[in-house]
Amino acid sequence: MSSVTTRSSRPPAGGPRDTQDPPKRRPKDDTRIALIFIAPAALGLAVFLIWPLIRGIWLSFTNYNLLTPAEFVGLANYRRLIADPIFWDSMKTTVYYVLLNIGIQTAVAMVIALLMYRLTQSTLLRGLVLTPYLVSNVVAALVWVWILDTQFGVGNQILGWLGIDPIGFFTDSAWAIPTIALVNVWRHMGYTALLIFAGLQTLPPSVYEAARLDGAGEIRTFFSVTLPLLRPIMALVLIMTIIGSFQVFDTVAITTGGGPANATNVLQLYIYDMAFDRFQFGYASAMSVGLLIVLGVITAIQYRLSRADSSDMS
């Protein structure tokens, strides 16, 4: 997909040069060279993304147990998907997770970015903000499992000193999803903050000067100047983080494994279990296609609503 956009933007760049210096030995256009440069990435894209995507879509119309040949069954998997209460339940769980995760993460990241932008120039501090992101998901999840253990965890120890009864963060169905969402907020907020911070740095100082001259306070400036100007950046950040958030898997697999009951049975986990534990690859593929469609629709809506392709800065 990205190769299409690259190619279409090529001719205008090369065009004028051809007419200006005609006698050079240079070939008429750079298509061949360009293709050679694109090839490695395009090959990777084709082998690791496009082909599995096509194959996954094909498998969603089959009955496939991984060991015997796939058998075409038409729309049976999709009919089953519509009637499967566990699928819709896990869709709800996933959406709940995404709302909590993205809502809190974006707000916290915005605050961190503004603090970095306004209060400090220290690169050390900027680096520190990013550290949770450098920890692997699995390690982060394991560490939090230990910290929040009902019996022996430091977290509950501290709550105990405050006179609060131990909370089963990962074992109470009401707490599990919020806890997982917050663990991932902790891990990703620095990275998100850095993206927003980069966006903040592109804003021209002149608009702030103008705002100050007009007598706008900090809060007014934020809502009337910073936020609108940041819109394209925020749109990008949100699209990226929401897609990532919908695909939550490792944290859940390690902390709760979908439990208690099905309280944290997020979509990716359900798909994985269906494929690799229950050998129903066809149905698992159908659910993956379902997730693909949901993500596609959400991204399209977001793109429209946030007018991500245009900027107010001109």
Partner 1 sequence: MKSAFSSRNRKVAPDTKQAPGPRRRRSRSRVLSAAAVVTTAGLVLSGCGQGGEQNNNVIDYWLWDTQQMPAYQQCADLFQEENPEYTVNVTQTGWGDYWQRLTAGFLADTGPDVFVNHVSRYPQYADLDVLLPLDEQPATADQREDDYAEGLTDIWTGSDGHRYGSPKDWDTIAMFYNNQHLEDAGVSPEELGSLEWNPEDGGSFEATIAHLTVDSNGVRGDEPGFDKDNVAVYGLGLSDAGGGTFGQGQWSAFANSNGWQATDTPLWGTEYNYDDPQLHETLDWYFGLSDKGYMPRFGQFNEDDGTLQQLMSGSVAVVTDGSWMIPAYAGNESVDVGTARLPAGPNGTAPSMINGLADSISAETDNPEAAAQWVEFLGSEQCQSVVAEAAVVFPAREDAVERTEDIWREQGINTEAFTGPIDDGDTFFMPVTSHGADVTALTGPAFQEIWADRPPSAEVLDPMNGAINDLFIADAAAQED
Binding site for partner 1 (CB under 8 A): 47-48, 51-52, 55-56, 58, 64-70, 149-152, 168, 170-173, 258-262, 265, 273, 276-279
User: Which residue in this structure is represented by tokens 């997982």?
Assistant: 180
Least Cβ distance, residue 70 to partner 1 (angstroms): 7
Residue (80 or 231) nearer to partner 1, CB:
80
Least Cβ distance, residue 118 to partner 1 (angstroms): 43
Q: Are 186 and 207 in contact (CB under 8 A)?
A: no
CA angle 202, 205, 210 (to 5 degrees): 135
Separation CA 225–CA 203 (nearest Å) = 10
Q: Are 61 and 67 in contact (CB under 8 A)?
A: no
Let me know if 39 is exposed, middle or buried by CB neighbors in 10 A (0-12, 13-18, 19+).
exposed
Q: Pick from 295, 266, 105: which is nearest to 184 by CA?
A: 105
Least Cβ distance, residue 107 to partner 1 (angstroms): 30
Least Cβ distance, residue 262 to partner 1 (angstroms): 4
Separation CA 105–CA 14 (nearest Å) = 43
Least Cβ distance, residue 277 to partner 1 (angstroms): 6
Residue (152 or 161) nearer to partner 1, CB:
152
Residue (37 or 276) nearer to partner 1, CB:
276
Residue (144 or 170) nearer to partner 1, CB:
170
Q: Pick from 94, 84, 312: which is nearest to 184 by CA?
A: 94
Residue (18 or 172) nearer to partner 1, CB:
172
